[in-house]
Amino acid sequence: MYVFVHEDFEPIFNAVSASAVVVHGPLITMKPSKTSKQWMREHINDPFVKLAQKEGYRSRAAYKLLEIDAKDRLLKSGTVVVDLGATPGGWSQVAADKIGRNGKVIALDLLPLNPLAGVEFIQGDFRDDAVLKQLEGLLQGKPVDLVICDMSPNICGVASADQARAMHLAELAMEFALEWLEPEGSFLVKVFQGAGFEDFYKTMRSRFAKVVTRKPKASRDRSSEVYLLGTQKLHLSPAQEALE
């Protein structure tokens, strides 16, 4: 089982944690590597990190969704949203603010999520029957208008393996979206350019009337991440689905 993690897991990073590792016993301190020092400097000086702290967002990733929504107008009053891999909650926070009291945001993650106003949270794997049953109960018969997913896997440092894991998560998220979205619903997912990207893109184009690529300003230039947005989920016959 993968542990789903958010690229921008927290807007306020404790510098002590970068040089300490707990291994089931005494605290072992390690000299920070050149890479970790560089990441620390970049994170602390990141304008979106500073803005998230100032404006009260859970993570800098909030600005990615804000920019995408400003262009594509996904989060309307009354929208029903499911956020996969939601922790620490930046995207759910934005969604709840945008859709208002008439909408609904349901967040799912393996990791705990500190409570957010207007967000209902289920902790667990979104593939598990027990989690899906909870989701069904929270929806109360309402169709899902939008599935959003900003998940990344825990990385191992081997580029080919990390890319495969990232694409697998995106595939799982799309399977979920195709199962739960209402007809004409939308799906926004983070993917990484590399092996498997083109096949994933082609599959999305076969299942949604329109698919566009987005690279928000808050997405770091050096990152291969992009966001694919599929709108107007297509209804396929059983025969057509069998050919997919």
Euclidean distance between the first and the last CA atom of the chain, given in angstroms as a whole number: 25
Active-site hit among 76, 190, 202, 233: 190
Contact 89, 58 (CB under 8 A): yes
Q: How far is residue 107's CA from residue 89's CA, in Å, rounded to a whole number?
A: 8
Domains plus CATH for the chain? Answer: 8-52 (no CATH), 59-243 (3.40.50.150)
> What DSSP character marks residue 222?
T
Shortest CA distance to 74 belongs to which of 103, 113, 52? Answer: 103
pLDDT at position 55:
84
DSSP letters spanning 158-204: -HHHHHHHHHHHHHHHHHHHHHHEEEEEEEEEEEESSTTHHHHHHHH
pTM: 0.81
Known active-site residue 104: no
Q: Which strands sit side by side in the sheet containing 119-123, from one edge to the other?
A: 119-123, 104-109, 80-84, 144-149, 181-192, 225-233, 208-214
pLDDT at position 237:
55
Shortest CA distance to 113 belongs to which of 85, 136, 140? Answer: 85
Query: Strand, coil or helix: what is 217?
Result: coil
**What is the block-wise mean pLDDT of the chain (244 residues), using blocks of 10 residues?**
43 31 36 56 74 86 97 97 97 97 96 96 96 96 96 83 93 96 96 95 97 93 91 74 53
Q: How far is residue 1's CA from residue 189's CA, in Å, rounded to a whole number?
A: 20
Helix (H) or strand (E) holding 136: helix 129-139
pLDDT at position 41:
63
Q: What is the dihedral sign for C-alpha 87, 88, 90, 95? A: positive
Q: How far is residue 17's CA from residue 144's CA, in Å, rounded to a whole number?
A: 38
Structure tokens at 67: 């920019």
